[in-house]
Structure 1
């Protein structure tokens, strides 16, 4: 039978990839204006300051969060410190095509990590769903041409993205596999800011390493300011809120298949910016990706 996914949960798990697609496009646009680790650190610093007036109790000395600081330290490392920094770093040497193609492997890593570390065996339907969904993503990324697919070449940026996908898969499993105080769990702002507190430490350390090796030039402009405003409010706060709640409701494996919507949205955004018309393979890819989501949620 099918596992019911509420429309609200589907909407949240769809909005997060849409915002993250915008994040990838924006990260590529401002790559020459600010170093990647520094961009990640500034992004989360601003997001932390925005949420602080609404969730300051989570980081106060009397907060129950401190009793579980190791959990939040790990979540902050994987979700805030590593994932986006690695993605921004990957965009420096790789193409958006390759980065999103590597990112499409998220459902596979979700299944593998769940089986290896959390004792959750992959079901046949989930494996079939993963294959269909990834085929749909590849169809978009190669624009329906096998020649373009065969022309892909892996570079160091692609390896950074593999590490980012592994980090995100672990982060998503830990969202539902460990417990925390209900006071924080039931308040999304407090839950997110608790991760940010430790994530800022990790991302700040990575930015410090980046500056120590000479990558510290920031070219401030209205373009960079507008990009920063978007990635702080959209991909950082709104997307993490939607993803966290969606994973809690649908589970990390089912949610992982929605990640494959990210490159589809990225392709649409790129087409919109370039003024190109959609093609038939976009519709075919959408059907395959949605089919993968539906099949993976059956049991």
Structure 2
């Protein structure tokens, strides 16, 4: 790994913040699924994020902005990160179960290596494969909760293919972040860079939300809300996911990928199920268990092994 891509304390923090916030998103998202259709929830999340970013970087949307000469790049980034990844993840959660989705999502480091090798010419190193094995083992420890019989009873279902597609989509997005093809004035302004992605992503997300409402009007599943049940709690949840898992997490992820590279950054995503398990335990008044510590040690070991020179 070149010196410019080595991990340091600030880079570790940047890459740890997103999985922590995404874990919080998963926890509150389970509740939100009972009061709002999932793709609509994602759309409102990013609409709020765009409104928050607008005062910080509204200049990027002016007719004279250099954004429009590079609209294809931002349209692709927005499609992958704002609309595509989140839609596929929600479909996975609706057609599979949380255990399956978490297990399939733990393949993210492998997808980072494959996408980098196939489309960006990045070599796959043995230390990265060893790191992926350690990281995946840590995720399995979380899923098993100290009872390996839970994993023996696991059965993959067709809906898990949605999560595989989501992992592939996120890997493509992360690698595209390393191709800094946008104008310097946008690249060096994190709010403008994120707002440009969000606005173009909302075009796709709006179309998907419209299709969701058409679907709900024809063949709504029994376990999915067909209207939005507004409450102060839902407003608070939407504000949290717009500010935390969207703006702060995407800002930190983008900077972290630039510093460490997509492959090493991908290993940090496996902290998400661990953080989600710990947050769920704390919210339920239960202390963390020893297997949480073992899982954390294995996932961190995977990060250390993968990022060694």
TM-score by length of 2: 0.93
Residue 113 of structure 2 is aligned with which of 111, 114, 119? Answer: 111
Measured after TM superposition, the shift of residue 156 of structure 1 is: 4.4
Measured after TM superposition, the shift of residue 22 of structure 1 is: 0.7
Measured after TM superposition, the shift of residue 158 of structure 1 is: 2.2
Residue 227 of structure 1 is aligned with which of 230, 237, 249? Answer: 237
The number of equivalent residue pairs is 299
Residue 266 of structure 2 is aligned with which of 239, 253, 256? Answer: 256
Counterpart-to-counterpart distance in 2, 1:68 and 1:140: 42
Measured after TM superposition, the shift of residue 272 of structure 1 is: 1.2
Measured after TM superposition, the shift of residue 178 of structure 1 is: 4.2
Q: Deviations over 1:107-157 (max 9, x none)?
A: 000001111111112101111001100101111111122200111222344
Residue 161 of structure 1 is aligned with which of 144, 160, 163? Answer: 163
| Ranges of 4+ aligned residues in structure 1 off by more than 6 Å | none
Rate the CA distance shift 1:229–1:157 in 2: closer, same or farther, 3 A.
Answer: farther
Contact between 1:55 and 1:193, CA under 8 Å: does it hold in 2? Answer: yes
Counterpart-to-counterpart distance in 2, 1:270 and 1:89: 22
Residue 39 of structure 1 is aligned with which of 21, 41, 47? Answer: 41
Give 2:81's aligned residue: 79
Give 1:212's aligned residue: 214
Contact between 1:27 and 1:88, CA under 8 Å: does it hold in 2? Answer: no
Aligned residue for 1:171, secondary structure, equals helix
- Spell out the pairing of 1:285-296 with structure 2 (5 A cutoff): 285-296=295-306
TM-score by length of 1: 0.96
Residue 124 of structure 1 is aligned with which of 123, 126, 144? Answer: 126
The farther-off stretch of 2-11 and 102-111 is 2-11
Contact between 1:101 and 1:263, CA under 8 Å: does it hold in 2? Answer: no
Measured after TM superposition, the shift of residue 218 of structure 1 is: 1.2
User: Unpaired segments of 5 or more residues in structure 2?
Assistant: 221-225
Contact between 1:90 and 1:156, CA under 8 Å: does it hold in 2? Answer: no
Rate the CA distance shift 1:73–1:54 in 2: closer, same or farther, 3 A.
Answer: same
RMSD: 1.5
Q: Deviations over 1:215-237 (max 9, x none)?
A: 55111122211211110110011
Counterpart-to-counterpart distance in 2, 1:227 and 1:101: 26
